[in-house]
Structure 1
Amino acid sequence: MSSPLHDVRPTFELTGRNYIVTGGAQGIGFTISRAICEMGGNVSIWDIQNEPVDKKEFDALSSKFGSKTLYIQTDVTKQESLEAAFQKTLDTFKTIDGCVPAAGIAIDKPFVDQTWEEFTRIQEINVRGTFFTAQMVAKELLKQKKRGSILLIASQSAHIALPGYRMAAYNASKGGVMMLAKVLGVELAPHGIRVNTISPGFVDSDMTRTVREAKASKREGEQMWLAPPNQRLSTQNDLTGAAIYFLSDASMHTTAADIAITGGLHAGTIDGLISYEK
């Protein structure tokens, strides 16, 4: 006999659940934090910046959605900073249901010119910060014998190398993040802890604007929105549906999975602009 059908809408709710989001002062991290609050969850944002970029919008999350929010200045490359932020989060929320390590940086620079220091900085933030944030949350979930969901932020750069965008260190870091999610998705599944990724494409953000403006030619910058089959940049709003799916009970049987949100670019192009720099 087949299982009875359940209503779908309630499975997306996050009411009463507590999440950690790194890199949440702005951009993708803040967007996902806001979505968590909208769906009834509480969020502790960790970021290297002293305060959220739009403090008024951050402060409005509690009044608008009735959520508990916490902001902690944190350096994800420093063990003592991560541990202090985690303890402060536990002191406030008491329990944890998952996390979204979204802190990340990128540089666009020829492979042969990327320095030891640049490579190390990217891996420290994008990979090590992600690894140990997820580890702390997994340890706490195991300790409390709770199910949970960990959402890692990969990238289209974990799927493809786009001509004209020389981001070897960043691509390597995001490939590592995607593989980490697969490994943890398998290892932690018996404990009811799911680990998944989303892979954003070119998102219209401060980081991508900086990369675009640094391009030597207008043609190279334009392929950010002309190369994807959908022929536009992603917006942060394109990411929230997939993020909530993975954090919520709607994805209870989904782990070690990735949703590519690239406008189709991870699969190929139709007639988009592709530029090679010599």
Structure 2
Amino acid sequence: MDGTPGLLAGKRAIVTGGANPRGIGAAIVELFIAQGATVAVLDQAYPEGAAAALAAGRCNLHCDVSRTASCEAAIEQAKAALGGIDVLVNNAGIVAATRIWDLPEDEFRRMIEVNLTGTYNVTHAALPALLDSPRQPAIVNLGSTAALRGGGLLGGSHYAASKGGVISFTKALARELGPRGVRANCVAPGIIETDMTLGKFGENWEQELKQGIPLQRFGSPAEVAQAILFLASDLSSYSTGIVVDVNGGFHIH
């Protein structure tokens, strides 16, 4: 940074699902820190029981978002390490393309538990701290283009349902929490170059998909992070309950 205060200067943020260095979560964390935030990164990949230790603007904490107790413990650690919470980004999630005729109940339940219930678990645990924040607190949830177009590609009906639930949950949060000063918004990425998508289409199908996207390419994790930064910062101070498409025009509606 060049000495100019960042868009998140002094803000304390939680980002779930940030352990994979090639994922959207890692891009969010990097950008948030560059913009002046201190960040607690919650991910199942981190070891259980490790103490929260801030270094280079971040601390890494174990959290299984599908488990209430795990979320509550991680949030308490994060609050202690950061001194409070001003921004929450619910990014942790899984994806699968299983079609309905092959979809077992346990896979459906797991998708909902991680993507939708996980968003609820972390939000519910963090809410008291967000309500105590003096700095226009913000929640940003990760939806998906799949929720807007009925799945397809790499996301089956259970994935679309889970992300559709996240979008509806976000809008309901905006209505309920707006009078208490908390904004809640959602980002709906399209095809982003992460481990979830790279190499999954085959060269011919990939080229065909890109031709169907007005910008003629897939997106990068950094481009999703930039949209999330906008919604987390005071630049979007009068925006709540919205869904921002980050998909190169792949889903224009």
| TM-score clears 0.5 | yes
For residue 49 of structure 1, what is the aligned residue in structure 2?
Answer: 45
Q: How many residues align?
A: 242
Note the residue ranges of structure 2 that are not aligned, 5 or more in a row: 48-52
Deviations 1:106-134, CA, capped at 9 Å, x for gaps:
11122210111111111111001111211
Deviations 1:10-56, CA, capped at 9 Å, x for gaps:
7x6111111111101120111111111010001000111137xxxxx
For residue 175 of structure 2, what is the aligned residue in structure 1?
Answer: 186
**TM-score of the two chains, using structure 2 as the length reference:** 0.88
For residue 231 of structure 1, what is the aligned residue in structure 2?
Answer: 216
Indicate the structure (1 or 2) with the bigger Cα radius of gyration.
1
Note the residue ranges of structure 1 that are not aligned, 5 or more in a row: 1-8, 52-58, 269-278
Instruction: Please tell me the residue identity of whatever aligns with 1:29.
Output: G
- Secondary structure at the aligned position of 1:117 is classed as helix
Deviates more, 1:228-237 or 1:171-180: 228-237
The answer on whether the counterparts of 1:111 and 1:166 sit within 8 Å (CA) in structure 2 is no
The answer on whether the counterparts of 1:228 and 1:263 sit within 8 Å (CA) in structure 2 is yes
Would the alpha carbon gap of residues 224 and 71 (structure 1) be closer, same or farther in structure 2, given more than 3 Å must change?
Answer: farther
Aligned-CA RMSD value: 2.2
- Cα shift at 1:93: 1.2
Would the alpha carbon gap of residues 73 and 168 (structure 1) be closer, same or farther in structure 2, given more than 3 Å must change?
Answer: same
- Cα shift at 1:178: 0.6
Deviations 1:54-113, CA, capped at 9 Å, x for gaps:
xxxxx9x81xxxx3x110121111111111111111111121102101010011122210
Which structure has more helix as a fraction of its residues?
1
For residue 102 of structure 1, what is the aligned residue in structure 2?
Answer: 91
Instruction: Please tell me the residue identity of whatever aligns with 1:242.
Output: A
Alignment of 1:1-278 (within 5 A): 13-26=7-20, 27-50=23-46, 62=56, 67=57, 69-143=58-132, 147-161=136-150, 165=154, 167-209=156-198, 211-212=200-201, 219-267=204-252
**TM-score of the two chains, using structure 1 as the length reference:** 0.81
Measured in 1, the distance between the counterparts of 2:102 and 2:206 equals 20
Measured in 1, the distance between the counterparts of 2:153 and 2:129 equals 43
